[in-house]
């Protein structure tokens, strides 16, 4: 089974880059087996459909617009966040992940198991650093992701 951990976002707009910062955090603090790919999807939209379609299970990480407070993290399954099912808007990429997944679904190439971890941003100001609030959320979300992966039978090691 191939697992993809996909971080979306724009590193130039502070918290908008949260998904990418999480990928970088995971790469720095954990060792993953070869069947698990960590991918900085940036704002590539439809250009990354092949990455999503080649995986059996996908974990998406992105900022979302949802009810709640900055820093709140929500977990959704595929049927929860596909177009029109949730009152959320994932980050403002030209063609968003929801649209890419909808196209994959039409082509019958969409992975069956997709989990979205969405976080409400505190800032979209220009800058390459996360707000202190969201930077503080990286370790906890990383642990949550690793726990889900290890519960599936994969061995993930923490780096010292």
pLDDT digits (tens, 9 = 90+) for 83-135: 555 444 454 544 566 665 655 565 666 567 889 899 999 999 999 999 999 99
- 25-27-32 Cα angle (round to 5): 130
Task: For each of the domains in the chain, give its residue range(s) and CATH number, in order of start.
Answer: 3-158 (3.40.50.1450)
* Three-state DSSP state, 149: helix
Report the 10 Å Cβ neighbour count for 76.
Answer: 19
pLDDT at 50 over 80: no
């Amino acid at each position: 089974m191939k697992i993809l951990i996909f971080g979306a976002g724009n590193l130039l707009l502070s918290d908008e880059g949260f998904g990418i910062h999480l990928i970088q955090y995971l790469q720095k603090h954990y060792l993953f087996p070869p069947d698990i790919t960590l991918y900085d999807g940036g704002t590539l939209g439809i250009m990354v459909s092949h990455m999503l379609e080649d995986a059996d299970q996908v974990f998406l990480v992105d900022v979302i617009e949802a009810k709640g407070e900055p820093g709140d993290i929500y977990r959704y399954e595929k049927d929860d966040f596909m177009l029109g099912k949730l009152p959320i808007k994932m980050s403002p990429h030209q063609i968003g992940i929801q649209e890419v997944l909808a196209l994959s679904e039409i082509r019958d190439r969409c992975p069956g198991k997709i989990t979205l971890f969405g976080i409400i941003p505190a800032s979209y100001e220009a800058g390459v650093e996360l707000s202190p609030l969201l930077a503080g959320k990286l370790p906890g979300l990383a642990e949550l992701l690793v726990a889900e992966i290890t519960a599936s039978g994969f061995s993930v090691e923490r780096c010292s």
